[in-house]
Amino acid sequence: MKSLYLIIPLAPLFGAIVAGLFGKAIGRAGAHWVTILGVTVSLVCSVLVFQDVMAGNTFNGAVYTWLESGGLKMEIGFLIDQLTAVMLIVVTFVSLMVHIYTIGYMAEDPGYQRFFAYISLFTFSMLMLVMSNNFVQLFFGWEAVGLVSYLLIGFWYTRPTAIYANLKAFLVNRVGDFGFLLGIGLVAAYAGSLDYATVFGKSKELAAMTEAVTGWPLITAICIGLFIGAMGKSAQFPLHVWLPDSMEGPTPISALIHAATMVTAGIFMVSRMSPLFELSEAALSFVIVIGAITALFMALIAIVQTDIKRVVAYSTLSQLGYMTVALGASAYSVAIFHLMTHAFFKAVLFLGAGSVIIAMHHEQDMRRMGGLRKYMPITYLTVLIGAIANAGLPPFAGFFSKDSIIEAVALSHIPGAGFAYLAILAGVFVGGFYSFRLVFFAFHGEERFRQPAPEAHGHAAHDDHAAHDAHAHDDHAAHDDHGHHGPVEPHESPKVVTVPLILLAIPAVCAGWLIGPMLYGGWFGDAIFIAPEHHGMAHMKEEFHGVVAMVLHGLTSIPFWLAVSGAATAYFLYIVRPELPAVIKQKLAFPAMILEKKYGFDEFNEWFFAGGARGLGRGLWKGGDQTIIDGVMVNGSAKAVGWFAGVVRLFQSGHIYQYAFSMIIGVFVLLTLWFNRA
Amino acid sequence: MSTPLLSLAIWVPIIGALAVFAVGSERRAAARWLALNVALAGLAVTLPLLTNFDSAFVGFQFVEQLPWIPRFNIQYLLGVDGISVLFLVLNSFITVIVVLAGWEVIEEKTAQYMGAFLMMSGLMNGIFASLDGVLFYVFFEASLIPMYIIIGVWGGPNRVYAAFKFFLYTLLGSLLMLVSLIYLFLESGGSFNLIDWYMLKLGMKPQILLFLAFLVAFAVKVPMWPVHTWLPDAHVEAPTGGSVVLAAIMLKLGAYGFLRFSMPIAPDASHTLAPLMIGLSLIAVIYIGFVALVQADMKKLIAYSSISHMGFVTLGFFIFNQLGVEGALVQMISHGFISAAMFLCVGVMYDRMHSRMIADYGGVVNTMPKFAAFFLLFSMANSGLPATSGFVGEFMVVLGAIKANFWVGFAAATTLILGAAYTLWMYKRVAFGAVANHHVKELTDINNREFLILALLALCVLGMGIYPFPFTDVMHASVDNLLKHVAVSKL
């Protein structure tokens, strides 16, 4: 079995290396075949491992010792349990779908091989992350997925917006990693080990300690440090700012990395750390509040977005907030369950959006779409499924997971749970609204793509489009024959695009039906630890009477009607009275502006952090290094030596009369002093 | 008697250098090839040091002892332990890289150029292998001369100012060291043997004075804030090879001095003054990180980044735990690879564009994709990305620092953000984007020689990042011994 574990990450790595280093030699087809083969092998092995784990065979062991120092042994090793097994399936399945989809989406791109190398490298990194049995490898995978995300957001490296976005993503993630590293450092310092099992075994002792220098409760400091890492990677407020910009990358990676897998790494990590988080009430409170803020306030931004990908991006942020809220409510299995259903329906939404973007010749503005459903029936249907699931309507996948989150939060007694409950309930309405707004705006109504391009886009997306044009014209000559954003005739996408869509839409419908075994059937075994005083999940288990009963009960619950009214509002505003949104926007100019400015985070960060750092750097350089150190101390002492030498030189003129005169003066002075002595 | 490996490591390059001088610059090709062979031979004689090294043995190995100036009991005493042995190999390896890097680029006085580097290589091996105070001092000072000449002869337009600044700064520092050596000679009853000095009982006041005197000498070399301002100037004016050796090896001499002299000779003063050292190190990490952010000249930026990374080294030493000291040593070796690679990358671009200014570039990836891939790898390593060597040392030092004091670890960990910010922002402006101007448009990608150099360094960076175990394995016994020694008071 151990060799099987090794094959899972190494097969995609092999594909990545071959496609990356020998891309030219193997050609386009070679690149996609070798990487798809690698990921397929990985998926098959994951399924085998999954079955094995479900049969009760877990594994925890080292592959090799990476480093040993100061009594700290750091190993590369695998922990294969239920939690890992679920993640393996999700990651390899979505990754395979995205690989296939990419054949169609990137068909005309000159960086074809490079793209396949990157997404396979990503798959490798993500697998290493979820399979890790220790903090070091976790950090490895953590940073490695960040690297690939950086490479892929900046994939079209000639676009200024793309290379701005990828630097931003990397740096914001590094802010999170800063906290993550401190958390790991505290674990190493106080537990004396970085191995999960050893550290978890000492969790009770850790909970009783305080940090020596700061006096903080140790376990809270560790958990908050680790969670700051999760806030970066899983884009939680206020470190969420990088995710919307990451949409500058090609759409397949938005689906794979910035929706289904990488951004859920934080959720996975906190679930993995449940034996630690469960012991810190304060950390759980922090988690639930941050999650709730993200869930509601990011959903609100989605309402005003007109770029189809950005709507999905803000929806992703909001859904990540839901998962985080579940973590805070000690419902780790629910968080992972939502992670799984979300991976499927969000991948559908992103890949569906990508399909639309291809059909519209790289137009992403929904104001230039409308009525697409009759031209692209498969895309339409799959996106509709994704939207229903995203809104959390029964019996689609999102319903089961979202409803369970709301239920778990309602039962939680953690400080902040009350606020979180209200926030995520409100978020359900907003979610229903923006999901169906997307469907109605892009696929129903008037066919706006036949109209000439409006003079003023009047939106931030304008810049993106300029970049798209530049991109299409400068370096992707292949796109030129599509012409400009003039009238276009949309068409359904090729099979390599629609087949993955359909394959992903199936679990977007059905994955929720696994709720019984996954949440209440002891599926996660010992992989997740819940403190006995957090009995929300136990309570929910008693209440659960099967999928059908849950659906029937769901139809009478508040969240359902909130989601339905959200959808109905979208129907009213975008189908019945399509002239209304503009009027509302005019009446509510100020709130609309706040949302369109995304609460001003980008401006603030740009001004305060980026500008501040540059200002400080310039100040230290000019003021400290150049003026004080070099100017005063270094060149100053050189000058002082020179000045002193100049003065001394005056006394050494070489004229005998000056020496004699000085001597006489000296003698007079000395004699005077001598005679006047007391 | 077994083969005098350490003497070979010192004298093969030096005698080879004389031979290269003798060939003369009129026969450029012959001089180059001879230099390469000498460098390879120099590397070949250091490799047995590693393969025959007994990592379980505490103390010095491959010891050679001959009287040199018996009147003052000065000996030709050589030996290496787990702390120094890796630096001989690193130094000899970097020498090969430097000879290759200057291959077609140096057209004037080729033989002198190559010879100067070989000479320096031998002298620096001497520094790492000396166990006699005077011998160390002689090598330490002598190594200044070739570097002074390299900057002064093959350097940029402002090379004279830079060379003087470099020379005076470092010379002033080492004069105080000479005084300390003589003091120790007298106190120990007439011995220049380092091992005798380790055993020497000293009061607190002399320890503090000795520590401060050594500090001035070594701090300039590292360089530590605030005596660092010679380094950016020296780097900017030095030819590529000069920058490579300066960053990869010369900066390590100061840090090595702390381990070889300051800490074991004055352990009580080391503990007492540790807050000062930690403070200066953290200033180097943070202050210099911000300064690096706003540099417009790539070489200056990398020079400042070097200072910041060396801050991690001195920090690791003075938190007095194994993670810290070993992390610092790993960081020194890793920085040898990464800073060398970064300066070579700038050199590759400078050779084509004759500019080091970031603003003159943009979109290099379009015309030099292979180069851009290497440059990205090294930039990521410079930002401390896991699976590159740059991560290992920083990670260990941060872990060690948190263990010693949370706030020290907190301050040190900011490098995660700062290092990424200044390195990747530079990379973005240089490599990404559309082709910025016709100069960039006319760039040609790296040739086979450049590919070979960068690929060798890339292998080192990745290899050390993926499997650093052997590196620390060599160090354990010696570092452990050092820490035990430093923990015992000499009062």
What is the tens place of the pLDDT at every residue in A646-674?
887 777 777 888 888 888 898 899 988 88
Q: With 60 as the cut, is the pLDDT of residue A595 above it? A: yes
- C-beta separation of A109 from A158 below 8 A: no
Contact (CB<8Å) A185/B409: yes
Mean pLDDT taken over chain A: 85
Contact list, A160 vs chain B (CB under 8 Å): 433
Residue of B nearest to A20 (CA): B373
For residue A630, give the nearest of B229, B291, B428 by CB distance.
B229
Distance from CA of B13 to the nearest CA of A (A): 34
Q: Flag if A64 and B293 touch (Cβ within 8 Å).
A: no
How long, in residues, is chain A? 678
Nearest to B346 by CA among B236, B459, B463, B232: B236
Residue A480 confidence (pLDDT): 37
**Interface mutation target, options B403, B472, B484, chain A, most CBs of A under 10 Å:** B403
| B326 vs A contacts (CB less than 8 Å) | 69-70
Q: Which residue of A has its CA nearest to B385?
A: A143
Backbone φ, ψ for residue A10 (5° rounding): -75, -30
3-state helix, strand, coil in chain B (%, to 5): 75, 5, 20
For residue range A416-430, what is the model confidence (pLDDT) as tens digits? 889 999 999 999 999
**Full 3-state SS string of B353-398:** HCCCEHHHCCCHHHHCHHHHHHHHHHHHHHCCCCCCHHHHHHHHHH
N residues, chain B: 491
Q: What is the structure's pLDDT at A458?
A: 41
Q: Is A72 left (phi over 0), alpha (psi -120 to 50) or beta?
A: beta
Determine whether the interchain pair A67/B433 forms a contact, defined as Cβ–Cβ distance below 8 Å.
Answer: no
- Comparing CA positions, the residue from B305, B307, B326 lying closest to residue B316 is B326
CB-nearest to B400 from A70, A214, A617 is: A70
Give one DSSP letter per residue of B21-42, joined into a string.
HHH-TTSHHHHHHHHHHHHHHH
Please judge whether A70 and B413 are an interchain contact, meaning their C-beta atoms are less than 8 angstroms apart: no
Residue bearing tokens 């030699």: A25
Tell if the CB–CB gap between B406 and A71 is shorter than 8 Å. Answer: no
pLDDT in tens, A70-89: 888 898 999 998 889 989 99
- pLDDT level of residue A276 (50, 70, 90 thresholds): very high
pLDDT mean over A568-582? 84
Q: Are A72 and A103 in contact (CB under 8 A)?
A: no
Nearest chain B residue to A146 by CA: give it: B385
Query: Has residue A59 got a pLDDT over 50?
Result: yes
Tokens of A611: 């500008």
A650 touching chain B per CB within 8 A: no
Q: Do B413 and A181 touch (CB under 8 A)?
A: yes
Label residue A444 by pLDDT band (50, 70, 90).
confident
Cβ A160–B433 below 8 Å, yes or no?
Answer: yes
- The answer to whether A230 and A267 have CB atoms below 8 angstroms apart is yes
pLDDT on residue B270: 92
Nearest CA in chain B to A218: B406
Residue in A69, A171, A184 closest to B472 by CB: A69
Which of B326, B389, B402 to mutate: most A Cβ within 10 Å?
B402
Relative orientation angle of helices A265-272 and A112-131, to the nearest 10 degrees? 10
**Nearest residue of A to residue B172, measured between CA atoms:** A634
**Which of B401, B402, B416 lies closest to A178 in CB terms?**
B416
Nearest CA distance, A174 vs chain B (angstrom): 5
Q: Are the C-beta atoms of A85 and A97 separated by less than 8 Å?
A: no
Q: Tell me how crowded residue A30 is: count the other CB atoms within 10 A of its CB.
A: 17
Residue A185 contacts B where some CB pair is shorter than 8 Å = yes
Distance from CA of A616 to the nearest CA of B (A): 7
Chain B residues with CB under 8 Å of A144 CB are: 385-387
Asked whether B55 and B82 are in contact (CB, 8 A), the reply is yes
Inter-CA distances, A272 with A83, A134, B393, Å: 8, 11, 27
Q: Answer whether residue A483 shows pLDDT above 60.
A: no
The structure tokens listed for A296 are: 């509601």
Q: Closest by alpha carbon to B444, among B343, B371, B361?
A: B371
Residues of B in contact with A242 (CB under 8 A): none
- Measured between its terminal Cα atoms, the distance across chain A in Å is 104
Cross-chain Cβ contact A72/B399 below 8 Å = yes
Cβ contact B290–A620 (<8 Å): yes
Model pTM above 0.80: yes
Question: Is the complex ipTM higher than 0.95?
Answer: no
Find the Cα–Cα–Cα–Cα dihedral A168, A173, A174, A177, rounded to 10°: 170
Is the CB of residue A639 less than 8 Å away from at least one CB of chain B? no
Chain A CB contacts of B395 below 8 Å: 136, 139, 181
Beta carbons of A66 and B294 less than 8 Å apart: no
Least confident of A114-123, A448-457, A590-599, B322-331: A448-457
Burial of A555 by CB count in 10 Å (0-12 exposed, 13-18 middle, 19+ buried)? exposed
Q: Identify which of B230, B400, B468 has the shortest CB distance to residue A66.
A: B468
Query: Residue A474 above 70 pLDDT?
Result: no
Q: B21 and B115 in contact (C-beta within 8 Å)?
A: yes
Q: Does residue B370 or residue A452 have the better pLDDT?
A: B370
Contact B386 A140 (CB under 8 A): yes
CB contact under 8 A, A184 and B399: yes
Q: Is residue A234 scored above 80 in pLDDT?
A: yes
Residue in B420, B432, B472 closest to A174 by CB? B420
Q: Which of B392, B402, B431 is closest, CB to CB, to A67?
A: B392
| B406 to A186: CB separation less than 8 angstroms, yes or no | yes
- Say if CB B416 and CB A181 are below 8 A apart: yes
Cα–Cα distance, B227 to B218 (Å, whole number): 10
Q: Which of B416, B429, B483 to mutate to test the interface with A (most CBs of A within 10 A)?
A: B416
Q: Does A616 touch chain B (CB under 8 A)?
A: yes
The stretch A332-355 carries a mean pLDDT of: 90
Q: Which positions of chain B have pLDDT values less than 70?
A: 1
Residues in chain A within 8 Å Cβ distance of B390: none
| Residue B427 C-alpha, separation from nearest chain A C-alpha, in angstroms | 10
B295, B327, B472: residue with CB nearest A68: B472
The pLDDT, as a whole number, for residue B443 is 87
Report helix, strand or coil for B329. helix
Most B CBs within 10 A among A69, A226, A639, hence the mutation to make, goes to: A69
Q: Tell me if B321 and A70 make a contact (CB, 8 A cut-off).
A: yes
Nearest CA in chain B to A628: B226
Q: Enumerate residues 81 to 120 of chain A having a beta carbon within 8 A of any beta carbon in chain B.
A: none
Interfacial A residues in 473-512 facing B (CB < 8 Å): 474-475
Look at B472 and A67 and tell me if their CB atoms are within 8 Å: yes
CB contact under 8 A, A66 and B469: yes
Tell me how far apart the alpha carbons of residues B478 and B472 are, in angstroms, rounded to a whole number. Answer: 10
Q: Does residue B48 have a cis peptide bond before it, meaning omega lies within 30 degrees of 0?
A: no
Nearest one of A192, A324, A210 to A267, comparing CA atoms: A324
- Amino acid identity at B311: G
Kindly report the backbone phi and psi dihedral angles of residue A236, in degrees, each rounded to the nearest multiple of 5, phi listed first: -95, 145
Tell me A61's DSSP state. E
